[in-house]
Structure 1
Amino acid sequence: MVVERLNNASMFISKFALLNVLWLALIVAGLGVFGFFPATIALFMIARKWVLEGQQGKVVKPMVKIFKEHFLRANVFGYLMLAAGAVLYINYHLIQASEGSVPLFVVLAFLFTVTVYILFAVSIIPVSVHFEGGMRTVLLRTLQFVFGRFHITVLFGIVVWSVIYLSLSFPAVIIFFSGSVGSYMLMWFFNRSIEKIDQKQLENNPIALKG
């Protein structure tokens, strides 16, 4: 019994390590700047599958297939987000250089926008791999999720920050577990949140319950 549990635990851990190494390999295969976003989409799709179905099945071939299929779309989404972040960064420096001449309400509006942007950025990938649709649909659903499940998006931010902090503190984590464990945690919390929303909708809709 003990040996079996240890074997299961080692298999569980090794699969996370494999997923993470494959994620990094796909980033490198895309020359870094073009590989990060499609590799991360593939990572989250596999993580979602694990959350819903467990770790059964192959990892390498499905992940490479997803990487190829979403290469263009993921890069378009990713670089649009980076462009928006760059605009906010420039505005931050403009406000800083103003030396207090910018009205308080403008500063507060900017801080609110930055907060929404950060929460949006950590939520868009889980939303995009869960829901099908074009760019407009994904953007709208992400905004709905950010404002409708605000506490979950804050939790997402904490998870992402924690993974980055641990990865910088313990570099080996980057190689074997940072992306795989982080994506799994985010998809687990996301899936639980969606399940609760679906359950509430069923409870408030007797017809749906009967169906």
Structure 2
Amino acid sequence: MNQGYVTGTLYTGMEWISRIVYVNALWLLFTLMGGVIFGISPATAALFSITKKWVNGEEVPAVFTQFWQEYRFYFWRSQKISFVFGVAGILLFIDWHFFSQRQSNMNLIGKMLTVQLILLYAALLFYIFPVFVNGEYKMSRALKQAGFLALQAPFKTIFGLGSAAALLLLFITIPAVALLCAASSLAMWVWFYTERVIADKTWPIAGKIK
């Protein structure tokens, strides 16, 4: 085997690992800067914006500066994502807890409906940030586009959610690895995957993803 090829491959691999760890640290830092509640959405949007450039082969020479600029740009624009998904998540948790209290046919139906809503919630959450950083800053339109993608490509959506869940399970099992690269690894995979889901379609958003 060519030694230069092996060395080059190892160098590229280490470079990507360092990128993923570094941008994950920035995500944690800027999330905390916003007090978590106000910081998580702009930090996640900035993370996806950086990830988008990397997946598309663009260089980001000053990652910290670029992350800070994206964070400021998305700070107020992204707060609706935190609010909508935060409230929806709390309501779904309450519904699940309520229908799990007693065993009856009505409660069983309620649990089944809640499970379907949870799956829809997860699908929308899976697509919302790629759609959002692609220019859909209006919340109603971003949700519509995310829902359109989720429902029009159900099998790809299920596979994407399953793979993301597998990554989450891995990070839960190994918390030290999660601290180093959970958010950035998930963002990298979600953007890489959703870009191809969108590219398979002829919707207006497909032309904007590139």
Give TM-score, length-normalised by structure 1. 0.84
Q: Amino acid of the residue matched to residue 139 of structure 1?
A: L
**Correspondence for 2:94:** 90
Structural mapping, 1:50-89, within 5 Å: 50-89=54-93
In structure 1, stretches of 5+ residues that fail to align are 203-211
- Is residue 158 of structure 1 aligned with residue 158 of structure 2? no
In structure 2, stretches of 5+ residues that fail to align are none
Cα distance change of structure 1 residues 11 and 104 upon mapping to structure 2, 3 Å threshold: closer
- Is residue 140 of structure 1 aligned with residue 136 of structure 2? no
> Mean alpha-carbon deviation: is it higher for 88-97 or for 43-52?
88-97
Q: Amino acid of the residue matched to residue 141 of structure 2?
A: T
Cα distance change of structure 1 residues 34 and 133 upon mapping to structure 2, 3 Å threshold: closer
RMSD value over aligned CA atoms? 2.3
**Correspondence for 2:40:** 36
Q: Amino acid of the residue matched to residue 55 of structure 2?
A: V
Contact 1:38–1:71 (Cα < 8 Å) also in 2: yes
Q: Shift of the alpha carbon at 1:104?
A: 5.7
- Distance in 1, matches of 2:108 and 2:182, equals 39
More relative contact order, 1 or 2 (CA 8 Å, 6+ apart):
1
SS of alignment partner, residue 132 of structure 1: coil
The structure with the largest alpha-carbon Rg is: 1
What stretches of structure 1 move > 4 A for 4+ residues in a row?
A: 103-107
What number of residue pairs does the alignment pair up?
Answer: 200
Contact 1:159–1:186 (Cα < 8 Å) also in 2: no
> Mean alpha-carbon deviation: is it higher for 118-127 or for 17-26?
118-127
Cα deviations by residue, 1:157-181 (Å, 9 ceiling, x for unpaired): 2233222222222222123221112
Give TM-score, length-normalised by structure 2. 0.84
Cα distance change of structure 1 residues 114 and 4 upon mapping to structure 2, 3 Å threshold: closer
